Structure 1
Amino acid sequence: MTMPATTIDGRCLVAGRGQGPVLHATLGLSFWGGVDPSNGEVIDRHHPLSGQSLAGRVLAIPSGRGSCTGSSVLLELILSGPAPAALVLAEPDEILSLGALVAEHIFGIQLPVLCIGHAAFAQLSAHHGSFARVDGANLQLFAHAPDDGWQASPLEPAETQASTLELNAGDRALLAGEQGRAAQVAMQLLVRMAELQGASALLDISQAHIDGCIYTGSASLRFAQQLLDWGARVRVPTTLNAISVDQRQWRALGVDPAFGEPASRLGDVYMAMGAQLSFTCAPYLLDSAPAFGEQIVWAESNAVAYANSVIGARTLKYPDFLDICIALTGRAPCTGSHLDAGRQARLLLEVEAPAEADDSFWPLLGYHVGLLATVDIPVLAGLEHSQPSRDDLKAFSAAFATTSAAPMFHIAGITPEAPDVTRALAGQAPRRTLQVTLADLRSSWAELNSADSSEVSLVAIGNPHSSASELARLAELCAGRTRHPHTAVVVTCGRAVHDQASASGHVATLQAFGVRLLTDTCWCMLGEPVVPPDSRNLMTNSGKYAHYAPGLAGRQVHFGSLAACVDAACSGQNQGQLPAWLGQPQPQGTH
């Protein structure tokens, strides 16, 4: 009998048995935009596992990161086949755990998720490429695949840590099915997640924003349709994230009906549950945006970061599927960033503020800060006099949420819960203090600028969705100029913003320049033919899309300011110079 080289006991987050070769990385992975749901390939071209297949492997990563849609991608992998055999994490991850919980609870398929802590996880670097077996709360590592006839038979659902979750009479009535099957299943999943998070109670929420309306494949539609068939109806005002197609234009755009029809249908299913036709990844631009201190449930990573940090509303970084479960019950786990203690900064970043920076500074900084923060809530010092606009903070939020798993950030003297560093830290010493210099930002600039030629065939604006003020600025930059005939310019925004920009005359100006405006969908869901099939490079002012586009769109990226994007649209080229505010790197050997 083959004996394991190492045995590690951990916390079973989701029950199951699985075995396979170890695929190990020390960097968290966003399944949305980072993993192809059709075949399990890692498509995040910035990740050390890029090009690797997860199928049948024991994936060992410290945590997830980035998009709330990771749960939907994991469910798609589980139901269609190319899923990992097991997930081994350094710390609990709610997004990935929820995808596996839905597979178990709704579809009866198990994929084990095991948390072993950072100390034990550090041992796994020596076992990359070896063989691992997960059995409930136990991880065994072998030099080679054992030939012992072991079978990955189902386990009973995982026992979470001792539950202290208090339920009121209404919660118990939902669990008993008194409000119908859909609400009952939603509450069952909510209770499982609340127990996993160690919550002591549930709380009432005032509104929800649903990210699960993004079409990742048939699994996302099967889940929503099942809830609707069970009589699902939202209990709080509910908005919908951008969906995967422009419902009014997808046929004219040449989108394949095999994709367009189910993607559009998914949005209709959620509206049939009572959600509003909003279709925007920037719900903070709607009239229904929450107030400071309001308890809400939002999914969509950039919206979560913005709501918590810029508005001061309170939400966790809710994964797809749990968002609709909470909307169907009106209840959420009383934990994490819903509470004062879960909103305190733990990381202090002392930022070198540039002189006269353009609008590319904020997404670049957000991207870099997210990489440093990982799971910790940061507070940034040194930007007190920078006077960012709401659009700047929107761009920062989106880029930060792309590279970090934290639900929020603070910027001293700017965001509402950080009048100064001391109060952002709640009077405590930071766990870590780091410097962010312009030299550091130049490194991230190089990371986001992946193009190796100056050609620009597409300018992609609106990730997250453009605001009315951004469209006004874009119209100002385009007025009286001529677009290059071989460079497409496409902007995404919500329907409400499009209506505002149309009434103010900005849409007419943009269309005269040759801009195509799309609503309902966003760049993380767009591919060919909106992305020109013969294009090699695109340019964007979005740090989020600059990160995701190489994997999602298969294109190299130029990243820069909005003005630089318009210049590229007119010339068809971007020479890739650093902006003046970012400075020039010193020659080697100088000080």
Structure 2
Amino acid sequence: MSLALTNDERRIASGSDGAAMAMRIVAESAALLGAPRLIPIASAHIDGALYHGDSGTLFAERLVEGRAHVAVRSTLNVGALDLMGCSRVRLEEPQRSMARRMMEAYRKLGCEPSWTCAPYQAGHRPAFGADVAWGESNAVVFCNSVLGARTNRYGDFLDIACAISGRAPDYGLHRQENRLANLVFDVSALPRAFLASEIAWPVLGSLYGREVGDAIGVVTGVTQSPGEDALKAFGAAAASSGAVGLFHLSGVTPEAPDAKTALGGLDAETTIRVTPQMVASAQARLSTAEGTERIDAVAIGSPHLSLAEFDSLERLISGRRLSVPIHACTGRHVLTELDRNGRRKALEVLGVVVVADTCVVVTPILPDRTNGVLMTNSGKFAQYAPANTGYAVLYGSLADCVESAVLGRPVFARLSS
């Protein structure tokens, strides 16, 4: 099937400015993907502003030189620097300057300096059924699954090209027939108390992603919504352990009023019946440090912490000083609220290191340690930290992380799965 462009799209692509370059990137990507046409998008979330090398900076600056500007609302994912000055990033020159130039170039392109991996909790919530072009795996899965907007997993450079052209390839999860589930992930055998706990959803997400890969499933056996932060944690873990771009939760997410609807009225090709033993195994896999009696750092906030999650953190710390710092990653939208009431300073006095605009897994913030041990409650951090930071991981609940940080050694509550 050949790609058909409109007269206006062909006209723009034939130019020599930044908008033309963006349109050509989108059109050529669409042709490679077998899309029949381009579709207009309502917004974008840009993952390509995170510094991975000079080529990314030079690409963005070339778009700026070509007078390109985003055509739709475009928020920015985390960058490589904490521009708010909350935490010290150990990125050295010339990489530091190149990272700053990159972040500035995306601002000049008209992107909102949101610098968060959770734009959906910072006011960027596209309407149900809207076509958008979002990057960042957790944002993509939340956008598709919880909001019911439509996006594929847009990678670096293609994301900003879509934002500038206001177009995306018409393929994949933009199309209704590709959004139906073909498998059931049944958690009805798990205790209700476990499903209501904070630790359940990152663990279940990690198991889900590992089991389904890039397939679309519907989760059944949940009697009530676990809440937005739990859905955020589930999707992030599923997207990092697998390649999940969309999940359905029967009776909770907007395209799954029931399992039958999510499956398009067809029988499931596969049913995965989750057992407590499977959950225990999934949780154990999230820890890579063995037999340790120490922790060197605690990191939470992948995806970025919401204000409600900071409320929980404050309750659990309860005014106690930490023996090991907790690095709490969040966005400016939350930092503003924390600063308004003096809450950030109070947390910092106790030993919390607030990290804004970025996170500890994508840029060097954690102390440079040989054989370091990092504790986290994030399924996504647990998946990426060993390779990205060099730290081995201990996984636990937020309460486990706080108690361990206070005592300076690993402490775990019993998992009731």
TM bin (shorter chain): over 0.9
Displacement of 1:524: 2.5
Q: Residues of 2 paired with 1:480 and 1:518: CA distance?
A: 20
Displacement of 1:250: 8.4
- Name the stretch that deviates more: 281-290 or 543-552: 281-290
- Structure 2 match to 1:187: 23
> Would the aligned equivalents of 1:367 and 1:444 in 2 still touch at CA under 8 Å?
yes
Q: Residues of 1 paired with 2:237 and 2:46: CA distance?
A: 20
Q: Report the CA distance shift for 1:491/1:575 in structure 2 as closer, same or farther (over 3 A).
A: closer
Indicate which of 228, 232, 243 corresponds to 1:405.
243
- Structure 2 match to 1:376: 215
Displacement of 1:454: 2.6
- Structure 2 match to 1:488: 325
Structure with bigger helix share is 2
Give the residue type in structure 2 aligned to 1:432.
Answer: T
Q: Report the CA distance shift for 1:354/1:526 in structure 2 as closer, same or farther (over 3 A).
A: farther
Q: Residues of 2 paired with 1:261 and 1:175: CA distance?
A: 32
- Structure 2 match to 1:574: 410
Displacement of 1:350: 1.4
- Structure 2 match to 1:172: 10
- Structure 2 match to 1:522: 359
CA displacement, residues 531-550 of structure 1 (integer Å, 9 cap, x when unaligned):
35366211111000001111
Indicate which of 109, 133, 139 corresponds to 1:297.
133
> Would the aligned equivalents of 2:325 and 2:352 in 1 still touch at CA under 8 Å?
yes
- Structure 1 match to 2:307: 468
1:510 maps to 2:342? no
Displacement of 1:333: 1.4
Displacement of 1:185: 1.8
Q: Report the CA distance shift for 1:264/1:185 in structure 2 as closer, same or farther (over 3 A).
A: same
Displacement of 1:268: 0.6
Q: Residues of 1 paired with 2:305 and 2:371: CA distance?
A: 23
> Would the aligned equivalents of 1:250 and 1:260 in 2 still touch at CA under 8 Å?
no
Give the residue type in structure 2 aligned to 1:478.
Answer: I
5+ residue gaps, structure 2: none
- Equivalent positions of 1:131-142 (< 5 A) are none
Q: Residues of 1 paired with 2:89 and 2:387: CA distance?
A: 22
Indicate which of 273, 281, 286 corresponds to 1:448.
286
Q: Residues of 2 paired with 1:497 and 1:474: CA distance?
A: 14
Displacement of 1:175: 1.4
CA displacement, residues 489-510 of structure 1 (integer Å, 9 cap, x when unaligned):
1111111111112224432332
Indicate which of 137, 145, 158 corresponds to 1:322.
158
- Structure 1 match to 2:72: 236
> Would the aligned equivalents of 1:374 and 1:406 in 2 still touch at CA under 8 Å?
yes
- Structure 1 match to 2:57: 221
Q: Classify the secondary structure of the residue corresponding to 2:390.
A: coil
Higher relative contact order (CA 8 A, sep 6+): 2
- Structure 2 match to 1:499: 336
Displacement of 1:262: 1.3
Q: Residues of 1 paired with 2:117 and 2:177: CA distance?
A: 28
- Equivalent positions of 1:423-438 (< 5 A) are 423-438=261-276
Q: Report the CA distance shift for 1:463/1:229 in structure 2 as closer, same or farther (over 3 A).
A: same
5+ residue gaps, structure 1: 1-161, 583-591
> Would the aligned equivalents of 1:279 and 1:521 in 2 still touch at CA under 8 Å?
yes
- Structure 2 match to 1:278: 114
Q: Residues of 2 paired with 1:517 and 1:550: CA distance?
A: 21
Give the residue type in structure 2 aligned to 1:192.
Answer: E
Displacement of 1:558: 0.9
- Equivalent positions of 1:342-421 (< 5 A) are 342-351=178-187, 352-357=189-194, 358-385=197-224, 387-421=225-259
Q: Residues of 1 paired with 2:221 and 2:383: CA distance?
A: 26
Displacement of 1:174: 1.2
- Name the stretch that deviates more: 276-285 or 257-266: 257-266
Q: Classify the secondary structure of the residue corresponding to 1:184.
A: helix
Q: Report the CA distance shift for 1:515/1:446 in structure 2 as closer, same or farther (over 3 A).
A: same
Q: Report the CA distance shift for 1:251/1:366 in structure 2 as closer, same or farther (over 3 A).
A: closer
Q: Classify the secondary structure of the residue corresponding to 1:306.
A: helix
Give the residue type in structure 2 aligned to 1:393.
Answer: L
Report sequence identity in percent: 38
- Equivalent positions of 1:116-131 (< 5 A) are none
- Structure 2 match to 1:587: none
> Would the aligned equivalents of 1:454 and 1:575 in 2 still touch at CA under 8 Å?
no
Q: Classify the secondary structure of the residue corresponding to 2:361.
A: helix
1:549 maps to 2:385? yes
Structure of larger gyration radius: 1
Displacement of 1:396: 0.6
Q: Residues of 2 paired with 1:259 and 1:250: CA distance?
A: 20
Give the TM-score taking structure 1 as reference length: 0.67
Q: Residues of 2 paired with 1:349 and 1:299: CA distance?
A: 26
CA displacement, residues 401-439 of structure 1 (integer Å, 9 cap, x when unaligned):
102223110011111111111000011122222222111
Q: Report the CA distance shift for 1:420/1:504 in structure 2 as closer, same or farther (over 3 A).
A: farther
Q: Residues of 2 paired with 1:548 and 1:464: CA distance?
A: 12
Please give the root-mean-square deviation of Cα atoms over the aligned residues, in Å.
1.8
Displacement of 1:290: 1.5
Q: Write out the 4+ residue segments of structure 1 that deviate beyond 4 Å after TM superposition.
A: 250-254
Q: Classify the secondary structure of the residue corresponding to 1:257.
A: coil
> Would the aligned equivalents of 2:81 and 2:89 in 1 still touch at CA under 8 Å?
no
- Structure 1 match to 2:83: 247
Q: Residues of 2 paired with 1:442 and 1:259: CA distance?
A: 41
Indicate which of 356, 365, 375 corresponds to 1:539.
375
Q: Classify the secondary structure of the residue corresponding to 2:94.
A: helix
- Structure 1 match to 2:260: 422
